């Protein structure tokens, strides 16, 4: 099987049952993505597939041979952190750190969803996206942190969202879609 992960090509021949998560961790040495529940409940395994966040534990590797996959290793490096990685450091958005790669990959995908103007369960007017702590909590509810670093995770994400003007982009997107 052939895979493209973080822009790098890999050939591997895992058992047909292998999840995308296990492919990365056990076969390709990409151990940044974490296995928590292995049932799509905790979000520790979150990766970006063609730019969209998914639970990599609930997906078969064999089904992703034509996809562009991004893991935490593809977002930043210790010398060149992704904006969300440095915000998590600055805001102390973790204690043990186990959920952090999934939190950050999920936040990257989530901010793109906001930019596209996607609403959430707590959005009042589906046509007028807003972005506040309640929206962040709702949109990140698929990522658990058993150290309960949630307040700092929310602060880190909000800082990046504000710096990148995601709400303005979302409103512009909605206006263009309506026009």
Partner 1 sequence: MKTFTYTRADTTDTAVRDAHVSGARYIAGGTNLLDLMKLQVETPEKLVDISRLPLGEIEEREDGGLTIGALVPNSDLAADPRVIAKYEVLSRALLAGASGQLRNKASTGGNLLQRTRCYYFYDTAMACNKREPGTGCSAVGGFNRVLAVLGTSDQCIATHPSDMAVAMRALDATIITQTSDGDRRRISIHDFYRLPGDTPNIETVLQSGELITHVELPAPPKGRQVYRKVRDRASYAFALVSVAGVVSVEEGRIASAALAFGGLGPMPWRNPAVEAALVGQAPSDAVFGAAADALLADAKGYGSNDFKIPLARRVLIATLRDLTGE
Binding site for partner 1 (CB under 8 A): 15-17, 19, 38-40, 43, 46, 52-55, 58-60, 62-63, 106, 109-110, 113, 116-121, 123, 126-127, 137-143, 177-178
Phi, psi at 41, each rounded to 5°: -100, -20
Rounded distance, CA 96 to CA 166, Å? 29
Rounded distance, CA 156 to CA 89, Å? 8
Shortest Cβ 12–partner 1 spacing (Å)? 15
Q: For residue 152, how many other CB atoms are within 10 A of its CB?
A: 18
Shortest Cβ 80–partner 1 spacing (Å)? 26
63, 81 contact by CB (below 8 A): no
CA 46, chain centre distance (Å): 6
65, 18 contact by CB (below 8 A): no
Nearer to partner 1, 58 or 169 (CB): 58
Shortest Cβ 28–partner 1 spacing (Å)? 20
Nearer to partner 1, 40 or 97 (CB): 40
CA 179, chain centre distance (Å): 31
Nearer to partner 1, 68 or 113 (CB): 113
Shortest Cβ 40–partner 1 spacing (Å)? 6
Shortest Cβ 123–partner 1 spacing (Å)? 8
Nearer to partner 1, 93 or 102 (CB): 102
- Give every CB contact of residue 19 below 8 A, 6+ residues apart in sequence: 38, 56, 57, 58, 59, 60, 61
Nearer to partner 1, 140 or 153 (CB): 140
């Amino acid at each position: 099987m052939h895979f493209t992960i973080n822009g790098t090509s890999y050939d591997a021949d895992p058992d047909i049952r292998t999840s995308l998560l296990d492919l990365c961790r056990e076969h390709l040495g990409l151990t940044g993505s974490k296995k928590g529940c292995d049932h799509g409940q905790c979000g520790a395994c979150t990766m970006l597939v063609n730019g969209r966040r998914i639970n990599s534990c609930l997906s078969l590797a064999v089904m992703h041979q034509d996809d562009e996959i991004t893991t935490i290793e593809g977002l930043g490096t210790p010398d060149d952190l992704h904006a969300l990685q440095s915000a998590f450091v600055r805001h102390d958005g973790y204690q043990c750190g186990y959920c952090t790669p999934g939190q950050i990959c999920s936040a990257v995908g989530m901010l793109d969803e906001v930019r596209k103007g996607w609403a959430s369960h707590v959005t009042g007017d589906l046509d007028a996206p807003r972005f506040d702590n309640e929206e962040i909590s709702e949109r990140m509810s698929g990522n658990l942190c058993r150290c309960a670093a949630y307040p700092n995770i929310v602060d880190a994400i909000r800082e990046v969202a504000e710096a990148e003007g995601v709400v303005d982009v979302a409103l512009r997107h909605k206006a263009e879609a309506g026009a």
